[in-house]
């Protein structure tokens, strides 16, 4: 599927670079696609390793052999509430446990190192999340973005000085999931690559 330089036992960074290489191959030059590392979800309760934002938000979570799966249940709960698609990228030692632990709609890729290359093999193709939480989705917006959206829609009356939680709740209650998803993705892409620290950019 893709390759990445590396020697010895795979590390998180080796698998990450292989995933980023795949995303660059699939989406490089596509002005409608943004690739973000360490995207915070639900006010930073969890961060997905890599997110691909275009007509959907597809999160890629890396679990190398050196990782434990201790955080996976909590991550699963947050990702299920927020992301359109999720794929776990892991090694053979974790593959069976992950397959049993995550929802059927999650994709699973296995990372294999051969001759200094990390090759990614699809074990299960990701399917669309059947049940996103609108409030969790709205939390991907910064306060200014949420307020501007409400203002544009004529829904900001009485909310301009309110906490961001109230802005998110109004958006979640007033918009369809499709409308909200379109707005969230638009704002994420408008931020471009400058909204993360340089060390986290692709």
In the chain, where the domains are located: 12-130, 134-191
pLDDT for residue 115: 79
Residue 195's pLDDT is what? 58
Query: Domain 12-130 carries which CATH code?
Result: 3.40.1350
List beta partners, residue 119.
112
Q: Which residues are within 8 A (CB) of 174 and not within 5 positions of it... i.e. 6 or more apart? A: 153, 155
Of 115, 12, 93, which is closest to residue 60 (Cα–Cα)? Answer: 12
* Contact between residue 88 and residue 75 where contact means Cβ atoms under 8 Å apart: no
Quickly state the pLDDT bin for 117 (edges 50, 70, 90).
confident
Starting at the earlier edge strand, list the strands of the sheet with 57-63: 34-41, 46-53, 57-63, 85-90, 107-114, 117-124
Query: Does pLDDT of 50 surpass 80?
Result: yes
First to last CA, the chain: 19
The whole-model pTM stands at 0.90
At 194 the pLDDT is: 57
Residues 35, 191: Cα–Cα separation, whole Å: 11
* Paired residues of 90 in beta bridges: 63, 110
């Amino acid at each position: 599927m893709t390759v990445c330089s590396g020697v010895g036992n795979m590390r998180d960074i080796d698998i990450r670079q292989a995933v980023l290489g795949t995303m660059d191959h699939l989406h490089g030059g596509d002005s409608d696609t943004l690739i973000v590392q360490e995207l915070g979800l639900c006010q930073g309760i969890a961060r997905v390793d890599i997110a691909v934002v275009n007509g959907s938000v597809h999160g890629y979570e890396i679990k190398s052999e050196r990782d434990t799966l201790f955080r996976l249940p909590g991550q699963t709960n947050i990702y299920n509430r927020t992301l359109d698609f999720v794929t776990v990228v892991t090694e053979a030692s974790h593959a069976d446990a992950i397959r049993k632990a995550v929802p059927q709609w999650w994709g699973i890729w296995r990372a294999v190192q051969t001759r200094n290359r990390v090759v990614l093999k699809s074990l299960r193709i990701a399917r669309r999340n059947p049940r996103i939480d609108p409030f969790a989705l709205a939390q991907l917006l910064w306060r200014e973005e949420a307020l501007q959206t409400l203002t544009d829609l004529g829904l900001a009356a009485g909310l301009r000085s309110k906490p961001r939680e109230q802005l998110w709740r109004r958006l979640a209650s007033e918009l369809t999931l499709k409308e909200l998803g379109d707005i969230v993705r638009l704002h994420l892409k408008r931020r471009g690559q400058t909204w993360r620290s340089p060390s986290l950019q692709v």
